[in-house]
Amino acid sequence: MTTHQFTTPVDRRTFLGQSAAGLAAVGAVPSAEAATRKPMLRFGLNADPHLQGARPSGRATNFRKFVDRMKTFQPEFAVDLGDFGIQVSEGQTTQEMHDGQIAGLKYHLDVFSQLKCPRYHVMGNHDVGWLKGGDEKITAADLIGRSHPGEDITKQEFLAITKMPHRYFSVDHNGFHLIVLDANNAADESSPPRGKDGLVGGYWVDAAQKAWLARDLEKNRKKPKLVFCHEELHHTPEKGSGQGGDTPFPPVGKQNSYVDNGWEIRKLFAEDGRVLACFFGHKHRSRWTVYDDTHYLTMAATHFNASFAEITIADTLEIKGYGGQRSYRLPLPKWLTRTG
C-alpha cells in the first residue's frame, strides 16, 4: 500500500525554482518506474459547464464528453467547480425561470450520476441566487421579482438537489483533505478594507465560513490539502500575479470578478503549510499562479471546447487537459513524499 511521509516544508526559493522546471516539463513523458507506481490520488475536474435547461444542447454534449472520459479514467472522485447550471432566460427572476433552472439541474445531475465515484459540487455564481449570502435563510419567493446577485434558485435548493452537505465542507480521500468553499457572498462585518489585491473584488468569504475554515485547518494540520472554490481567491491582472506561474494571463472577464478578501484565506493556507493546490473556475480560461508554495490553478470552462482535466498526484502534480484546458506537470513540495 502506498504510504505518505511528511517532512519539513520546502523553502520558497527552492519551490519556485522547481515550479519553473515543472512548467518547462509540461508534456514530458514520465519515467517507466514512475509510470508503474500507484498514484497517491487521481480525480476528475470540470468547470463552468453552464448547462441550461432540461434539453440537449452543445453545452450538454461537451459535459457528456467529460463524463464519458471519466468513465475510462476511473478517478477516486470528480469535482464540478461551479456554474454547473445557469438561468434558462435573461432578466429578472420569475417563477417559470426558477422552475426551469430546477428542472435543468435535476436533468444534468442524472448525467453526472453515471459516474459511480463520489461527486462534489462547488457553488458557482450562476448556480444560485442570494441577497447577502452567508447563512441567510431565504426562499425562492425572495428571489422572484426583485434584483439580487446570482441566478434563479436559492443556495438551500441547490444543496437539497445536489445532496451536498453544506455550502462549504471538507472530506478526506486517500489521505488528502479536500476543502470546498462558497464565495458567493456580499461583504459582512468581518470584511477587511477592500481592494488589498489591487482592485475591489465582487465576492467575499463570510465570517462564519472563515471561522469554520480556521478550525478545519487546525484539526487537519498534518494532512495534505486540496481546495476548491468557484471564484479565484486572488486578483489576476493580465501581467500576472503572485510569486510564480503563467504570465501574461488571458484577458478574460471583468478584472474585479474575484474574491476581494481572498488574501485572508491565502494567509490561512500559508500558515497551515500543507495546502498543495487550490482550483477555481469562473474565468473560463487556464491560468496558474503560486502564492507561498501553494499552486493556484484556474480551469478552462467545460462549455468552451469541451475543456476539463484529469488530475494525478504521484511524483508530480499532473493536470492533463482536454479541449481548451492547458496541461501542467508541477513539482510536489518536499513535505509531500512517499514510499512504495
pLDDT, tens digit, 9 for 90 and up, residues 294-310? 999 999 999 999 999 99
In terms of pLDDT, which residue wins out, 31 or 299? 299
Cell match 436559492: residue?
Answer: 154
Number of continuous H segments (helices) and E segments (strands) in the chain: 8, 14
Question: In this structure, what C-alpha cell is assigned to residue 58?
Answer: 452543445
Question: In this structure, what C-alpha cell is assigned to residue 48?
Answer: 463552468
Interval 143-163 mean pLDDT: 96
| pTM over the 0.75 mark | yes
Is pLDDT above 70 for 180? Answer: yes
Number of structural domains the chain divides into: 1
Cell match 447550471: residue?
Answer: 85
Q: Tell me the CATH number at 289.
A: 3.60.21.10
Q: Which strands, in side-by-side order, build the sheet including 328-331?
A: 119-121, 77-80, 41-46, 308-313, 316-322, 328-331
Please tell me the predicted confidence (pLDDT) of residue 2: 28
In terms of pLDDT, which residue wins out, 228 or 304? 228
Domain that holds residue 38: 3-339
Please tell me the predicted confidence (pLDDT) of residue 270: 98
Q: Which residue from 225, 204, 227, 232 is spatially nearest to 298, judged by alpha carbons?
A: 232
Interval 76-84 mean pLDDT: 98
Q: Which residue from 38, 19, 302 is spatially nearest to 174, judged by alpha carbons?
A: 38
Please tell me the predicted confidence (pLDDT) of residue 27: 40
> What are the start-end ranges of the H helices in 178-219?
207-219
In terms of pLDDT, which residue wins out, 33 or 245? 245
Q: Where are the extended beta strands (E) located within 29-175? A: 41-46, 77-80, 119-121, 169-173
Three-state secondary structure call for residue 259: strand
In terms of pLDDT, which residue wins out, 198 or 172? 172
Please tell me the predicted confidence (pLDDT) of residue 338: 65
Residues 6 or more apart whose CB falls under 8 angstroms from that of 40 comprise: 2, 4, 174, 175, 176, 313, 314, 338
β-bridge pairing 328-331 and 316-322: antiparallel
Task: Tell me how far apart the 2 most distant CA atoms of the chain are, in Å.
Answer: 61
Cell match 453552464: residue?
Answer: 50
Cell match 481567491: residue?
Answer: 233
Residue 51 is classified by DSSP as B
Please tell me the predicted confidence (pLDDT) of residue 179: 98
Is pLDDT above 70 for 34? Answer: no
Is pLDDT above 90 for 252? Answer: no
Instruction: Quote the CA–CA distance of 161 and 134 in Å, as a whole number.
Output: 19
Please tell me the predicted confidence (pLDDT) of residue 36: 60
Supply the mean pLDDT for the chain. Answer: 89
β-bridge pairing 169-173 and 176-180: antiparallel
Say how many C-beta atoms besides its own lie within 10 A of residue 136's C-beta.
15
In terms of pLDDT, which residue wins out, 240 or 133? 133
Backbone angles phi, psi at 276, to 5 degrees: -70, -45
Please tell me the predicted confidence (pLDDT) of residue 11: 36
Per-residue confidence at 58, pLDDT binned at 50, 70, 90?
A: confident
Backbone angles phi, psi at 277, to 5 degrees: -155, 150
Q: Which residue from 26, 5, 1 is spatially nearest to 317, judged by alpha carbons?
A: 26
Q: Tell me, what amino acid is at 242?
A: G
